[in-house]
């Protein structure tokens, strides 16, 4: 089990770390080296996600023979740009997506091996 995450405010990171602990592995960060915090960056984040943009992303290369789980926040009903990069490079069909959000769910989901929606204020690590 390989657990990856992208997180702006820490909710997805927390879930990834809980899963990593459960499966006795480490949570690996998908890192775009950008600061998405603050109001202006929030707007930028939404606009970039909505337009389907990708940004370069650093991450430890996954072993293709092991299961890949990615925990990430829903941005404008879709993936954050760095997650889109990861999914495009690795192939969505191999990935179980765990999507954290406040109210809505991932719109385009059929390409993933599986999608688990974690919606609301209080999130708990799901069964994978
Ligand atoms: C740019 C942006 C767009 C968002 N769009 C949505 C959305 O469409 N639907 C929703 O329910 N939550 C939306 N959210 C809320 C986040 O998905 C939610 O707070 C998430 O759990 C945050 O995870 P994180 O702490 O790992 O960044 C959005 C947040 C951001 C920053």
Q: What is the pLDDT of residue 83?
A: 98
Q: What is the pLDDT of residue 10?
A: 98
Residues of the chain with pLDDT under 70: none
Model-level ipTM above the cut of 0.95: yes
Which residues in the chain belong to E strands, given as ranges? 2-5, 27-29, 68-73, 95-101, 114-119
Q: How far is the CA of 116 from the centre of ligand 1 (A)?
A: 15
Closest CA to 17 of 9, 35, 5: 5
Q: Please give the number of the atom of ligand 1 that sits closest to the Cα of 102.
A: 11
Pairing of strands 95-101, 2-5: unpaired
The answer to whether the pTM exceeds 0.95 is yes
All domains of the chain in start order, with CATH = 2-119 (3.40.50.360)
Residues 91-113: tens digit of each pLDDT = 999 999 999 999 999 999 999 99
**Cα 16 to Cα 13: distance, rounded to the nearest angstrom:** 5
Q: What is the pLDDT of residue 106?
A: 98
């Amino acid at each position: 089990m390989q657990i990856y995450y992208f997180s702006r405010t820490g909710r997805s990171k927390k879930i990834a770390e809980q899963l990593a602990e459960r499966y006795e592995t480490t949570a690996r960060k998908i890192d775009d080296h950008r600061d998405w915090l603050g109001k202006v960056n929030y707007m930028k984040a939404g606009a970039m996600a909505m337009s389907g943009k990708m940004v370069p992303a650093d991450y430890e290369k996954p072993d293709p023979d092991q299961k890949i789980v990615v925990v990430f926040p829903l941005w404008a009903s879709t993936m954050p740009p760095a997650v889109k990069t990861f999914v495009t490079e690795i192939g969505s069909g191999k990935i179980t997506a765990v999507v954290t959000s406040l109210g809505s769910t991932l719109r385009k989901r059929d390409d993933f091996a599986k999608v688990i929606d974690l919606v609301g204020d209080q999130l708990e690590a799901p069964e994978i």
